[in-house]
Structure 1
Amino acid sequence: MRATLVSLFCAALLSVRPAPSPAVRFTDVLSQTGITFRHASGASEEKYLIETMGAGCGLIDYDQDGWLDIYFVNGGPTRMFHPEKPLRNALYRNNHDGTFTDVTERAGVPGNGAYGMGVAVGDYDRDGYPDLFITNFGPNQLYHNNGDGTFTDATARAGVGDPRWGTSAAWLDFDGDGWLDLYVANYLDFTYDKNPYCGERTAGRRGYCHPDHYNGVPNLLYRNNHDGTFTEVGKKAGIVLDDSKGLGVVAGDFNGDGRIDLYVANDSVRNFLFRNNGDGTFSEIGVVSGAAYDENGKAQAGMGTDMADYDGDGRPDLLVTNLDTEYNTLYRNLGRDLFQDVTVAAGLGGEISTFDVGFGTGFVDYDNDGWKDIFVANGHILDNIALSKPQMRYAQPKLLYRNLGNGTFADVTATAGAALSVPHVSRGAAFGDLDNDGDIDVVVSGCNAVPQILRNDGGNAANSLALRFEGVASNRDGIGVAVRYVLAGRTVYDQRTGGGSYLSASDTRLHLGLGQAREVRQVEIRWPSGAVDRIEALAAGFIYTIKERSGVSARAAFTRR
C-alpha cells in the first residue's frame, strides 16, 4: 500500500516537473573573503565528547544595511586543552564586495569563554535589530543588539544562562503575543568526570563514546516577558521529556492551524514533534504522527533538521540528517498530523548517504526553479574511523540533491562544483544570499577546521525575489508567516521558520525561486496574528520589505555580479 501511494503521488506530479537545471556551481571563495576564522576543538586523547561536535555559524544583518554578516562559534578550553590565547567567537561584517571585516571586538561579541556550540538570530525586544543567542557546553549567552554596531551581554538580566550542554536553539512566538520566545535543545549529562573509555584498548584506537553512555538533558522553553527578561516554562508547556538528547530543532506550523510547532532531532532516541495546542502548551505526537522513527521503527542518530514543502502539496515536510549506515530521513506530510518516511522512494536512500555522517542541512532552492532542493554537510564524528572502517573517512564531501518536481530527488553533487566534493569535517550550515545577487549561498562551519564559503555561481540564471518581513501585531521577524503564490500554473507554499539545520542560523529573508517568470502576480502573506496581506505584481530581481497590514514598505534591487 505504501509503495502504491508513493507511485500514485509521483505520477500525479509528472506534469509539473521543473525545466532542466541551468549550470550551477558552488565555489569555495573563503580565500577571497578576508575571513581568517578557524574552529578549535581541543581534540585530545581523552576523547571528550564535546570535541567532536563542532560548532555552528549564523547569518545576521546586525547593522541593518541590507547585507548578511556572518557569526562563527568557536570551541573553548577543556580539562586537557589550554590554548595560549583565549578562543573567541567571530563576527564578520559584509563589505558588499565579496569581502568581510572582523568586527568581533568592536561589536563586543567574542563569547563568554565557555566551549561554544550553536547560534540563533532573532529580534527578541522588537527594536528592529537582530540579537544573538549562543549555546555552549557551559552557560549559554544572549547578546542584545544596541543598534549602533555594538552588542551588550544581556544574559544575566534576561535569565537565559542555563549552564548545561546546549546545542541548537530556535526563536519562535509559541503563545502568539507578538514577542519572540526561545527554545533551547539540550544534549547530554556529560562532564569531564563522566568520560568512560570507549573503543579498542590499543594506541590510537580510543573513540568518542556513543550517546547511549549518557543520560539526556531536558530541553528549555523561555517565554518572553516583554521587558527584556524571560521565564522558563518548559515543564508547564509540556516540552520536558526524560528521553531527550536534542541536537537539531526547527520551529514552524506543520498542520496549518496558525500556531508554531516544534520538531526536535534527537541523537539515538526518538525524535519529538510538539504540536502547539494554542493554550500555552504542547502535545508530543512524534510516535503517533510517524515522525519519531524511520520506516522500520528504529530510532536514528538525529543531527540536523529542516521543514519545508518539497512536493508542492501545500504541507511542510521534515528532513533529518543522521549517522553513517543510516539514511538522512525525509518525512512527507500526509495531513491530519501524519507523516510518512519516504526516504527511499524519494531517491535519498542511496549508497553514498549511508557512508556519510550528516549534520547541517536545509531545504534550499539553489537553482531558483521554485522547488526545494536538499543540501547536506557531512563529516564523521570519529577522527580515527578509517582504522576500523577503511571505506569511511573523517573528512567527507557534501551532498546536494536536486528536486525533480515529481516527489523525487537526483544527486547532483558531482556536477555542482568541485567545492562540494572536497573532503571537509563539516558541522553547521547556514543558507542565505551573501552577495545579494539573487541566489542562495552556503556557509559551512567545520570541526577543528576553517569554514567554507560556498558561493552560488549560476543559480541566478533563473529569476527570483526575496521577502523580508516586519511584523506589527505579529512578532517583528515574521517567524510563522505563510506565503502562497502561483508559479507556472501551480500554487507554491512557503513558510518563515525558526531554527533549522545544525547549531546554525540562516537568512531571515524568504527566498522565492521563480524559474523564468518575471513577476509574481499575487503573493498571499498570512501572518501569525491572522492578518492576511495580498501583494500584487511583485517583479523578480528585488528584495521586498513587507510590513504587516501595510504591504511593501521598501525594495532593493539584486546586485548582479
Structure 2
Amino acid sequence: MKRLILGLAFAGILLGPSVYSRLTKPKIVDSIEESNSKQSEVLDRYGLWFKESGKQSGIEYRHTPPSVDQRLAHIEPQIASMGAAVSVVDFDRDGWNDLYVSNSSPGSLNRLYRNQQDGTFQDVAAEMGLADLNVPGTGACMGSIWADYDNDGFEDVCIYKWGRPELYHNDQGKRFTRVTDSAGLPDWVNAGCATWFDYDSDGFVDLFIAGYWPEDVRLESLEHTRIMPESFEYAGNGGRNWLLRNTGNASFVDVTEEAGVTSTMWTLAVVAADFNEDGATDLFLANDYGVSELYLNEAYAKGHRLREVGKEAGIGNAPKSGMNAAVGDVLNQGKLAIYETNISEEGVLIQGNNLWFPMQDTKLEFQNMASVMGVELGGWSFGAQFGDLNNDGNLDLYLTNGYVSGDPATTYWYDFSEITGGHSQIISDAKNWPEMKGRSLSGHQHKRVWLNDGIGGFTEVGQAIGITDTFDGRAIVLADLQNRGSLDVVVANQSGPLLLYRNQIQSGKHWIEFELEGTESNRSAIGARVSVYWNGQRQLQELVAASGYAAQNQRRLHFGLGPADVVKKVSILWPSGHEQIINGPAVDTIHHIREGS
C-alpha cells in the first residue's frame, strides 16, 4: 500500500522522455508465444522449465483474507490485501522439506504439509496442533517463522498476526505445544513481519516482530476510522517493533527500548544478516509509506545496541513502498546485496524496485543498481527471492506481484489519486478514501523470473519457462522439495491457490547443498555464512530465517555449480565466530555439517 501518483505527462517531464521511456518499457525478450514451445527447446535455451503441480502433489488450498470492520467495507480489498504466507521447514527431521501455509479469515485453518517423499504432501496441521490459529477475536495470521529457540534439535514456530502472536514448541516432531503465555510474548501486535536472529551472540535465537498497523487498532472492530498512514512518503504512525531476547530458559524478555529499535514505521519485510561483516547480525527493514531502515548491531562496542544508519548507508533517503527484503551475492564477489520491492505501474507510478548493492570499500554504503542490472520494474511487487534456479552458478531472482485483481476493464488508480495529495488529517482517516467498487488496482499481473547472466545483468524469462499465473502473489519460497538438487518454487496468493512449480533443470548442471547444525552457535545455525569456492569462483550465502515477504526459505543452503564437478573448498563462518574449512566436498550431494565436526 502506498501510493504517490505521477500522471503520465508529469512523469515524462519529471524523468525526461528517454528515462521515462526506458522505465515504462522493460526489456522482456521472451514473448508469451515462446512459453508454448516444446519443453526440450525451452530447456536448451534457458536451462530450466517449471510446471505447476500443486493439485497433483496433494495440495488443495485457497487463501481466504482477513475480516474487517464494516466501516472499511468501501476499501476492504485494500485493507484485507495481506495474509497469504508460506514457510519451509523440516519439522520432523526426516530430511525432507515440509510446508506451512497461513490462512487469514476468522475460523479458517492453516496447513502443515508433510512431505511424503514421493512427490506428494499430506496436511497434518490438525493432528500436529497447528491448524486452528485464526480463532475469532485473536486476529488474522500474517505469516510464520521457524527456528529451534531452545536448541533441542527440533524447529519451533512463531506465527505472527494482525493480533496475538503465537509461539509453539516442537515436541520431537510428534506434536506442537502452545507456549505463548509462558514464553512472555506480547498480547497483541499488528505485525507486518518477523524474524529470528541471535542479536546478542549468546547461542540462542532472539525474536524480532515489526508492526504494521498501530498497536491499538483492531481491524475487525474499530473504535474509529483514523487508522491509515499520516503520509504517503514519511508516515511514522505505524506499528511498534518488538525485540524479544531469548533468556535460554524457554522465555523471552522485551529489550526493544534498550536495543534502540523503537521506530513506528509501516514495516512489511525484514531480513537479518551481517551487512558490515563484523560478526554481529544486523537488521534491514522494508517500510511501506516511507524510507527503509538499516540497523547495525553494535554488539561489540555498545553492549548489544542496534543503531539506525539508513541515510548514511544510502538506503534511507528515497521514500517508497518497501514490501520485500531478500539478500544474495548476485555477482559472486562475497558481498550481500538487498532486494527490496516497490510499485511500478506504467503511466501512473514508477517507484521501481531497489537492488541495494554494497560498494567494494571499507565504508558501509549501498547503491541502487536495480535499473542498471535490469530488475527494477516488476509491477506492484511483493515477494521475491534469490536462488540459482538453473544451477549455472549465478543467483537468479523470482518475483511475484499483483495487488487487487478486480474487474480488469476498470481501474481504481485515478480515483485513488484524489487522496494522495491530501493533508495528513484527510489521508489518515479511512472514511475519506474513495470506494473501490470492484475495480482493479494493479491486478492480473504476470510474474517475473530474472536469470542472472553472471556479468552484471538479468534477463526476464518468466512466461517462457512456464510461469504464467496472474494471481495476486504475496509470499514465495524456494526449496529442494524432492532432494534432487533443484530449487522448486511455492507461491502463496492472496485470496488464491497455493502454487507449486516443479523445476526441471537441463542435464549436466551440478550442485551442492549444506544443512548446518550449530553446537556452540544456535542449533538452527541462523547467521552462519557459507562460501563455496569452485572453478575460480566464489559465492557467499548467509543462513537467514525470514526472507522475502511473509516467507521463509528452506534451511538448507543450495549452490549451483554449472558444469563444474569439483568444489575446491567450503568455508563456514559460524555465528560463534569459529571458521570451519571443508576441502573437496562431493558435488551433487546434500551435506549435513555439524559445527566443529
The 5 A counterparts of 1:93-104 are 93-104=114-125
Q: Return the match for 2:62 from 32, 38, 43.
A: 38
Report the alpha carbon displacement of residue 21 of structure 1 after superposing the two structures with TM: 6.6
Q: Return the match for 2:589 from 538, 542, 548.
A: 542
The one-letter amino acid of 2:60's match is T
**Percent of residue pairs bearing the same amino acid type:** 32
The 5 A counterparts of 1:490-505 are 490-505=537-552
Q: Does the 8 A contact of 2:66 with 2:140 survive in 1?
A: no
Give per-residue Cα distances to partners, 1:269-291, cap 9 Å, x unaligned.
Answer: 11110101012111100111012
The one-letter amino acid of 2:374's match is G
Report the alpha carbon displacement of residue 526 of structure 1 after superposing the two structures with TM: 1.1
Verify: 1:51 aligned to 2:57, yes or no. no
Unaligned runs of 5+ in 2: 1-42, 345-349, 414-438
Please state whether the residue corresponding to 2:571 is helix, strand or coil: strand
Residue 175 (structure 1) aligns with = 200
Q: Does the 8 A contact of 1:317 with 1:333 survive in 2?
A: yes
Unaligned runs of 5+ in 1: 1-18, 78-85, 200-208, 551-561
Residue 102 (structure 2) aligns with = 73
Report the alpha carbon displacement of residue 97 of structure 1 after superposing the two structures with TM: 1.0
Q: Return the match for 1:409 from 450, 453, 458.
A: 458
Separation (CA, whole Å) in 2 of partners of 1:195 and 1:58: 34
Residue 395 (structure 2) aligns with = 372
Q: Return the match for 1:134 from 150, 153, 159.
A: 159
Verify: 1:23 aligned to 2:47, yes or no. yes
Q: Does the 8 A contact of 1:121 with 1:132 survive in 2?
A: yes
Q: Return the match for 2:336 from 310, 316, 323.
A: 316
The 5 A counterparts of 1:158-307 are 158-189=183-214, 190-192=217-219, 193=222, 196=225, 215-242=237-264, 244-278=265-299, 279-293=303-317, 298-307=318-327
Separation (CA, whole Å) in 2 of partners of 1:89 and 1:455: 23
Q: TM-score, normalised by structure 2?
A: 0.80
Closer, same or farther in 2 for the Cα pair 1:491/1:211, shift >3 Å? Answer: closer
Separation (CA, whole Å) in 2 of partners of 1:289 and 1:388: 36
The one-letter amino acid of 2:394's match is W
The one-letter amino acid of 2:105's match is G
Q: Return the match for 2:570 from 523, 540, 548.
A: 523
Moved more, 533-542 or 170-179: 533-542
Please state whether the residue corresponding to 2:585 is helix, strand or coil: strand
Q: Return the match for 1:341 from 350, 362, 368.
A: 368
Task: Tell me how many residue pairs correspond in the alignment.
Answer: 504
Report the alpha carbon displacement of residue 164 of structure 1 after superposing the two structures with TM: 2.2
Please state whether the residue corresponding to 1:65 is helix, strand or coil: coil
The one-letter amino acid of 2:282's match is D
Separation (CA, whole Å) in 2 of partners of 1:528 and 1:445: 31
Separation (CA, whole Å) in 1 of partners of 2:173 and 2:555: 20
Separation (CA, whole Å) in 1 of partners of 2:44 and 2:325: 27
Separation (CA, whole Å) in 1 of partners of 2:398 and 2:367: 21
Give per-residue Cα distances to partners, 1:22-42, cap 9 Å, x unaligned.
Answer: 531111101101111211115
The one-letter amino acid of 1:343's match is A
Residue 491 (structure 2) aligns with = 444
TM superposition outliers: structure 1 runs of 4+ over 4 Å:
19-22, 194-199, 209-214, 389-393
Give per-residue Cα distances to partners, 1:236-293, cap 9 Å, x unaligned.
Answer: 1011114x11100001111111111110100021111010101211110011101224
Q: TM-score, normalised by structure 1?
A: 0.85
The one-letter amino acid of 1:76's match is S
Separation (CA, whole Å) in 1 of partners of 2:81 and 2:509: 39
Q: Does the 8 A contact of 1:54 with 1:448 survive in 2?
A: no
Separation (CA, whole Å) in 2 of partners of 1:383 and 1:219: 33
The one-letter amino acid of 1:291's match is I
Report the alpha carbon displacement of residue 161 of structure 1 after superposing the two structures with TM: 3.9
Separation (CA, whole Å) in 2 of partners of 1:198 and 1:260: 33
Moved more, 49-58 or 171-180: 49-58
Closer, same or farther in 2 for the Cα pair 1:426/1:43, shift >3 Å? Answer: farther
Closer, same or farther in 2 for the Cα pair 1:21/1:488, shift >3 Å? Answer: farther
Q: Does the 8 A contact of 1:272 with 1:286 survive in 2?
A: yes
Verify: 1:121 aligned to 2:146, yes or no. yes
Q: Does the 8 A contact of 1:141 with 1:161 survive in 2?
A: no
Verify: 1:400 aligned to 2:449, yes or no. yes
Report the alpha carbon displacement of residue 312 of structure 1 after superposing the two structures with TM: 2.0
